[in-house]
């Protein structure tokens, strides 16, 4: 309204530049609706962006909101919710799990999806710590992937779709446990019958992408145990399932929650709030005879 | 030493501003071709290196699963940082209305553009699967800092092109009447200058547009470098996970950027006899900006190290110890000496405030800041997260070739740029320093007419 009014008035004030003022007024009259549209659009997008921005802190929301039990809380309706229990009292650091895993996934010998670290405990005792993907329920690697190439399966494992991965290695930066490996070189030959493409099982590994422990998702689907579990002669690695509340190392089967409760389990870097699904039975640096 | 204060008499004996500004456009001596040849060779070796990397994968680098980011990432932070310095020198000097700004704005803007164009290649060069980079656009995960990076850098490229292009409109308009240029080039310039005639309306419009872009580029560049730092600080990694990283990267960017503007200005001043305009006063003023940023960068470095070192959480302490006292300490102390101390000393001692010394300090800052980026990136990665050995990294010839090639590319782009456009902002100098007062036409048009 106002600009139009001004437009009618300007011709009266003649002091050499009448045309300019009326041009401004006219422009103002024309611009007004566009400004309004822009303002509405800006407001709307600000709202949307604020909503999206909150998504950036999903961990914060979930940490604040949840009283997560030490069980798979990911309520996906999947038939299983996988976890691992590693009995450090039994692990002798032989590395058979690493080799079994490499054989299963056709990995080069320098690619270790389960690493066995020699460790020293608080009182100088030595023990061995096998570290595979911790299957974090709040996984930093999933959060930072720019192209959603790495994601949770409904039953817990985190996999990489190597047909999408751009190889930026941001997930390797984000993973607090250092379990991700990069395919710097072409992988070893895979027998022709065994090649497979897909996030559940990728053989051979694709050059220039990130690979990691997939908790042998392709095996557990078929009712078989992960390679690290079956290859551990010490029977130190258990595959657990929160849905059926059972865990097995291939020979013995135990009740998962009871086993966790009775054995003073701990998880790696709990303070980071990543909610890993790999539980360790403390080894106190001693081999337990059995 | 002080030819600076000597009055610049626009008498016929002195070459005019426009004449000096077009010197690099019309004259290419042996020096030009020598530098261009070397730069092209280095860039060519870089291209060969990248071809090798494309052919065989990132295995040709010195990177490994522990130190998975190396000099590519340091280079991208450094080059984009250079760009920020260039853009900010131009924008801030404009916003504070520094009277001498016109003498370096073109060099600053061109440096910003050249370093950004090359720097923006490195996020792609570092990928294991560069051919998939567009997936970031087609299936973005908005939670990922890498996506923010892409958006920020892309926006920043647009803004920098505008920052470089806007002031050129007036200069190209002016030069479309310059007799030293061939008729075809003049026609082209006339077309590129959107009918610039230097009317008061056009000058006002340009002035306003320049102010707007100068205001916009400041927060934009802050965002770009903060987001770049997020690729590191939004992880839980000791040595990276720090709130100081945003400001750290922003200040570091401007700091090294001012240094490269000084070096470029000195190089062109020497090669084309531009001392009348890029005089020691201009270089000294830029030197003061440099020293202010040195102190600021020293402050953030100090506060980062103090907060980590005093509490000394085990993981932080390990990174810090390696940095200050152990395997990285020679590089760290070299950074302190060349990156922080040298510019302060040079600017503190009146006798040293000369072009040569300030140029030396700037070169030191550039090398030191590159080292600093490596020191930010590598030691934090090398530190084992759970157990096992400390990671090692030494860049391969492929990495070194590609990074050097990037440097050659920047030099080459700058050389070509100043073959195409004037090295001094003719219009802007005329506007601020008031050579000729005729309102309807830009001062430098008058300057041209006087000399021809």
Comparing CA positions, the residue from A157, A159, A179 lying closest to residue A81 is: A157
The answer to whether the Cβ–Cβ distance between A167 and B58 falls below 8 Å is yes
Supply the ipTM of this predicted assembly. 0.85
Most confident of B53-67, B97-111, B302-316: B53-67
pLDDT > 60? residue B228: yes
Q: How far apart (Å, rounded) are the C-alpha atoms in residues B318 and B329?
A: 13
Mutate to test the interface with B, among A19, A108, A166 (most CBs of B within 10 A): A166
Residue B46 has pLDDT above 50, yes or no: yes
CB-nearest partner of A143 from B57, B59, B143: B143
Question: Which residues of chain A lie closer than 8 angstroms to B129, CB-CB?
Answer: 165-167, 208-209
Give the closest-approach CA distance of B62 to chain A in angstroms.
Answer: 10
> For B290-316, b where at least 16 C-beta lie within 10 A, e where not — what string?
bbebbebbbebbeebeeebeeeeeebb
Separation of alpha carbons B165 and B162, rounded Å: 5
Start-to-end CA span in chain B (Å): 32
Q: Which among B386, B389, B391 is the top mutation candidate for probing chain A, defined by the most A β-carbons within 10 Å of its own β-carbon? A: B386
**pLDDT, position B134:** 92
Distance from CA of A195 to the nearest CA of B (A): 21
Distance CA(B22)–CA(B186), nearest Å, equals 12
Q: Which distant-in-sequence residues (6+ apart) come within 8 Å of B154 by Cβ?
A: none
Question: pLDDT at position A29, please?
Answer: 47
User: B134 at the A interface (CB within 8 A)?
Assistant: no
> What average pLDDT score do residues B333-362 get?
91
Instruction: Chunk chain A into consecutive blocks of 10 residues (it has 290) and report each block's average pLDDT, rounded to whole numbers.
Output: 42 44 46 68 75 56 45 63 94 94 94 94 86 95 94 93 95 96 93 89 94 94 94 95 93 93 90 93 59
Q: Which residues of A touch B58 (CB under 8 A)?
A: 167, 182, 184, 208
The secondary structure of residue A152, as a DSSP letter, is: E
Q: Which of A129, A182, A208 sits opposite B386 (nearest CB)?
A: A129
Q: Specify the pairing of strand A158-160 against strand A210-211.
A: unpaired
**C-alpha span between B276 and B282 (Å, rounded):** 10
A129: which strand partners?
Answer: A117
| CATH 3.30.70.20, applies to A71-281 | yes
Mean confidence (pLDDT) of chain B: 87
- Spatial CA neighbour of B378 closest among B10, B68, B99, B134: B68
Please give, one letter per residue, the 3-state secondary structure of B295-332: HHHHHHHHHHHHHHHHHCCHHHHHHHHHHHCCCCHHHH
A247 touches chain B (CB under 8 A): no
Q: Which domains does chain B have, with CATH numbers?
A: 24-280+396-429 (1.20.1630)
- State the burial class of residue A99 (Cβ atoms within 10 Å of its Cβ: 0-12, 13-18, 19+): middle
Q: Which of B61, B68, B147 comes nearest A146 by C-beta?
A: B147
Contact A72, A137 (CB under 8 A): yes
Contacts of A196 (CB under 8 A, 6+ apart): A202, A203, A218
Average pLDDT of the segment spanning B256-280? 88
Residues B435, B447: contact at Cβ < 8 Å? yes
Residues in chain B within 8 Å Cβ distance of A207: 57, 128
d(CA B293, CA A250): 63
Is A24 in the B-facing interface, judged by CB distances under 8 Å?
no
The residue assigned the tokens 């990174």 is: B319
Looking only at the bridges linking them, the beta strands covering A210-211 and A278-281 are unpaired
Q: Is A42 exposed, middle or buried (0-12, 13-18, 19+ CB in 10 A)?
A: exposed
CB contact under 8 A, B386 and A52: no
A131 in contact with chain B, both atoms CB, cutoff 8 A: yes
Residue B216: Cβ-neighbour burial (10 angstroms; 0-12, 13-18, 19+): middle
* CA angle in degrees (0–180, nearest 5) for A54-A55-A59: 100
Query: What value does the mean pLDDT take over residues B415-434?
Result: 83
Is the Cβ of B1 closer than 8 Å to some Cβ of chain A? no
| Domain extents in chain A | 27-65, 71-281
User: What are the φ/ψ torsions at residue A247 (nearest 5 degrees)?
Assistant: -145, 145
pLDDT band with cut points at 50, 70 and 90 for residue B24: confident
Question: What tokens appear for A282 in the block?
Answer: 């403390």
- Distance between CA B35 and CA A133 in Å, rounded? 52
* Each residue's pLDDT tens digit, B370-413: 999 999 999 999 999 998 889 999 999 999 999 999 999 999 99
Contact list, B142 vs chain A (CB under 8 Å): 52, 55-56
Across the interface, whether the CB atoms of A173 and B384 are under 8 A apart is answered no
Task: Report the residue from B135, B142, B235 with minimal CB separation from A174.
Answer: B235
Opening angle at CA B243, ends B237 and B249, nearest 5 = 90
**Contact indicator for B399, B409 with CB cutoff of 8 Å:** no
As a whole number of angstroms, the distance between CA B261 and CA B14 comes to: 26
Query: How far is B253 from A4, CA to CA, in rounded Å?
Result: 49
Exposed / middle / buried, residue B61 (Cβ in 10 Å: 0-12, 13-18, 19+):
buried
- Residue A150, classed as helix, strand or coil, is strand
Q: What is the pLDDT of residue A36?
A: 73
Mutation pick from B62, B76, B144 vs chain A, by most beta carbons of A within 10 Å, is B144
Tokens 């219009």 locate to: B427
Chain A contacts of B237, Cβ < 8 Å? 173, 176
pTM recorded for the entire structure: 0.84
CA B306 to chain CA centroid, Å, is: 29
Residues of B in contact with A164 (CB under 8 A): 132, 135, 139
What is the interface size between A and B, counted as CB pairs within 8 Å? 128
Least confident of A192-201, B168-177, B236-245, B257-266: B168-177
Q: Locate B249 and state its tokens.
A: 């990267």
DSSP-based helix, strand, coil % in chain A, nearest 5: 35, 15, 50
Q: Do A168 and B236 touch (CB under 8 A)?
A: no
3-class SS at B85? helix
* Tokens describing residue B181: 């240029």
Task: Say if B392 is an interface residue toward chain A (CB within 8 Å).
Answer: no
Cβ <8 Å between A178 and B139 = no
- Looking at residue A285, its pLDDT comes to 55
Residues of A in contact with B393 (CB under 8 A): none
Mutation target to probe the B interface, by most B beta carbons within 10 A, among A27, A143, A146, A167 is A146
Chain A contact for B223 (CB, 8 A cutoff): no
Q: Which residue has the tokens 């497979």?
A: A196
Instruction: Tell me what percent of the residues of chain B surpass a pLDDT of 70.
Output: 93
Which residues from chain A sit within 8 angstroms of residue B66, using beta carbons? 178
- Please answer yes or no on whether B236 and A176 come within 8 Å at the CB atom: yes
| pLDDT band (50, 70, 90) for residue B10 | very low
Q: What's the average model confidence in pLDDT over B201-224?
A: 90
Residues of A in contact with B56 (CB under 8 A): 185
Indicate if the pLDDT at residue B226 is higher than 90: yes
């Amino acid at each position: 309204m106002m600009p139009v009014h001004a437009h009618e008035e300007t011709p009266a004030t003649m002091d050499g530049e009448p045309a300019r003022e009326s041009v401004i007024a006219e422009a103002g009259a024309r611009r007004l609706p566009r400004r309004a549209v822009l303002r509405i659009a800006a407001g709307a997008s600000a709202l949307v962006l604020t909503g999206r921005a909150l998504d950036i802190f999903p961990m914060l929301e979930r940490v604040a909101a949840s009283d997560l039990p030490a069980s798979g809380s990911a309520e996906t309706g999947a038939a299983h919710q996988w976890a691992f229990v590693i009995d450090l009292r039994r692990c002798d650091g032989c590395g058979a799990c690493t080799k079994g895993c490499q054989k299963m996934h056709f990995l080069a010998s320098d690619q270790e999806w389960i690493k066995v670290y020699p460790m020293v405990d608080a009182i100088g005792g030595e023990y061995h710590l096998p570290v595979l993907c911790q299957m974090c329920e709040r996984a930093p690697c999933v959060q930072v992937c720019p192209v959603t190439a790495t994601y949770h399966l409904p039953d817990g494992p985190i996999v990489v779709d190597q047909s999408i991965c751009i190889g930026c290695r941001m997930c390797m930066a984000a993973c607090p446990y250092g379990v991700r490996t990069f395919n710097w070189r072409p992988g070893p030959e895979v027998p022709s019958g065994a090649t497979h493409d897909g996030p559940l099982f990728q053989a051979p590994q694709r050059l220039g992408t990130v690979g990691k422990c997939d908790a042998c998702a392709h095996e557990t689907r078929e009712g078989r145990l992960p390679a690290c579990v079956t290859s551990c002669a010490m029977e130190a690695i258990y595959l657990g399932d929160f849905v059926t509340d059972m865990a097995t190392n291939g020979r013995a089967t135990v009740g998962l929650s009871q086993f966790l409760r009775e054995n003073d389990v701990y998880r790696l870097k709990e303070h980071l709030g990543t909610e890993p699904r790999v539980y360790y039975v403390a080894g106190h640096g001693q081999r337990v005879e059995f | 030493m002080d030819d600076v204060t000597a009055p610049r008499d626009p008498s016929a004996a002195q070459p005019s501003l426009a004449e000096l500004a077009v010197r690099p456009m019309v004259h290419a001596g042996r020096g030009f071709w020598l530098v261009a040849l070397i730069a092209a060779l280095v860039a060519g070796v870089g291209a060969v290196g990248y071809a090798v990397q494309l052919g065989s994968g990132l295995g040709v680098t010195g990177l490994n699963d522990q130190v998975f980011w190396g000099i590519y990432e340091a280079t991208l932070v450094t080059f984009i940082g250079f760009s920020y310095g260039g853009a900010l020198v131009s924008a801030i000097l404009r916003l504070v209305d520094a009277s001498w700004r016109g003498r370096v704005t073109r060099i600053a803007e061109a440096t910003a553009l050249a370093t950004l164009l090359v720097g923006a290649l490195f996020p792609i060069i570092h990928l294991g699967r560069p051919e998939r980079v567009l997936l970031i656009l087609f299936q973005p995960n908005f939670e990922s800092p890498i996506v923010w990076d892409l958006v920020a850098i892309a926006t920043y490229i647009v803004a920098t092109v505008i920052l470089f292009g806007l002031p050129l409109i007036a200069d190209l308009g002016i030069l479309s009447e310059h007799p030293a240029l061939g008729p075809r080039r003049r026609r082209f310039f006339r077309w590129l200058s959107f009918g610039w005639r230097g009317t008061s309306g056009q000058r006002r419009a340009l002035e306003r547009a320049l102010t707007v872009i100068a205001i916009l580029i400041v927060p934009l560049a802050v965002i770009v470098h903060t987001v770049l730092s997020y690729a590191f600080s939004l992880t839980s990694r000791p040595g990276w996970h720090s709130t100081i990283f945003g400001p750290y990267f922003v200040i570091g960017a401007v700091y090294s950027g001012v240094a490269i503007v000084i070096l470029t200005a000195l190089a062109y001043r020497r090669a084309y006899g531009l001392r009348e305009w890029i005089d020691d006063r201009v270089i000294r003023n830029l030197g003061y900006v440099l020293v202010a940023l040195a102190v600021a960068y020293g402050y953030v470095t100090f506060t980062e190290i103090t907060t980590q070192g005093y509490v000394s959480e085990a993981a932080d302490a390990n990174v810090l110890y390696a940095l200050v006292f152990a395997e990285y300490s020679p590089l760290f102390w070299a950074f302190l000496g060349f990156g922080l101390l040298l510019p302060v000393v040079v600017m503190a001692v009146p006798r040293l405030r000369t072009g040569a010394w300030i140029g030396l300090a700037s070169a030191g800052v550039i090398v030191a800041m590159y080292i600093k980026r490596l020191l930010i990136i590598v030691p934090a990665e090398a530190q084992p997260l759970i157990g096992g050995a400390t990671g090692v990294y030494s860049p391969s010839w492929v990495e070194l070739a590609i990074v050097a090639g990037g440097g050659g590319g920047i030099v080459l782009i700058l050389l070509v740029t100043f073959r195409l456009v004037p090295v001094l902002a003719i219009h802007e100098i005329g506007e601020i320093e008031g050579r000729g007062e005729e309102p309807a036409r830009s001062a430098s048009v008058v300057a041209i007419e006087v000399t021809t």
